[in-house]
């Protein structure tokens, strides 16, 4: 999965993000690693930023520190959503220890 990123990178990322179950969160680096890019967390961030798919829970993707990055307004919205899903959110920080998820599957 190293050559599929020819414009389809976003789609791949969305597919992966969709695998995150409700009540769990993942990180940019986890997705990047899963895709094989390793240090391409930033690119994943771009995919999230451009996420226009309604079925992509981009709010379940946070930073490796558990911080919900992005514009404060958007971040706050996502934080609220996460808290509604049962995730403990504190000042735009989520508890990765209890809600981290990285068991993705490439085939759907």
Partner DNA sequence: ACTATGACTCCCA
Partner DNA sequence: GTGGGAGCCATAG
Residue 7 contacts DNA per CB under 7 A: yes
Name the segment binding DNA (CB under 7 A); options: 50-58, 87-95, 100-108.
50-58
Site string for DNA, 54-93 (x = CB under 7 A): ----xx-x-xxx--xxx---x---x---------------
Residue 13 backbone phi and psi in degrees, to 5 = -60, -45
Residue 41 contacts DNA per CB under 7 A: yes
| Cα gap 108→100, rounded to integer Å | 21
Hey, what are 33's tokens? Answer: 């690693």
Residue 77, helix vs strand vs coil: helix
Shorter beta-carbon distance to DNA: residue 65 or 88? 65
Residue 85: name the closest of 26, 24, 2 by CA. Answer: 24
Shorter beta-carbon distance to DNA: residue 68 or 89? 68
């Amino acid at each position: 999965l190293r050559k599929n990123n020819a414009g389809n990178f976003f789609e791949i990322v969305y597919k992966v993000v969709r695998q995150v179950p409700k009540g769990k969160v993942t990180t940019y680096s986890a997705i990047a690693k899963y895709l094989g890019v390793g240090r391409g967390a930033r690119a994943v961030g771009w995919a999230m930023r451009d996420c226009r798919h309604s079925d992509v829970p981009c709010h379940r993707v946070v930073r490796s520190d558990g911080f919900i990055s992005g514009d404060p307004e958007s971040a706050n919205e996502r934080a609220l959503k996460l808290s509604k899903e049962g995730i403990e959110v504190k000042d735009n920080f989520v508890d990765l220890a209890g809600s981290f998820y990285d068991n993705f599957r490439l085939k759907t």
